[in-house]
Amino acid sequence: MRRIARESGQASVEHLGLIALAALLFAALAIAAPVTGVGEDVATAIGGAFSRGGGVAAAGPAKPVEREEPVAIVDRYLAADLDDFLAYRASPDRDPRLDWSTDYCSAPLVGSSGASFDFTQACLRHDFGYRNYDRLGLFDRRKDAVDDRFLADMRDHCAGRPEADRDRCFAWARLFYEAVHRLGFLSGHG
């Protein structure tokens, strides 16, 4: 079968066919269960196979797949090492319920980097925090923590710069931090 052009979150034609088949099967089971005594175990096993992304169901009842709440994921990846956040962000298994969009650092004229700094990665995580906490209705309560993480990420970057660039990098980090900390509520949250 021909596949739809893949983009994060899009399903193939085959996957859509499996979903349609599963819906028909569940409808048939719901109708047949009272008459034939088809048990919950069959429906659970079939449902478990589809909730895991396809494949053949294992023998016995499948355990439901527990998905972590979005707020817990955002909290965890804002607290994690920046490299762990970036790896999760790049993973095909990242949670599609979250907003992964970014405009990097939208600092007028400067952008995300300059001669003595590159805050691109810090800006990715900052946008992740702002956009997702906004969607979750937690922006006002968590904005300061996101801004503080942004400063820490930028300072970590500056600490790894050549010694000749560090002071300027730290100054830029402070300027970026002050801008988002004082004016971030005007940014449309991300």
Check 15, 126, 157, 189 and give the catalytic one.
126
Residue 126 is a catalytic residue? yes
SS3 (DSSP) at 133 = helix
Handedness of CA 145, 147, 149, 152 (dihedral sign): negative
CB 78 within 8 A of CB 146: yes
Cα-based distances in Å from 3 to 7, 10, 14, 16, 22:
11, 10, 7, 10, 19
SS3 (DSSP) at 92 = coil
Handedness of CA 32, 33, 39, 40 (dihedral sign): positive
Query: Cα separation of 181 and 177, whole Å?
Result: 6
Tokens for 139? 């922006």
Which positions are annotated as active-site residues?
126
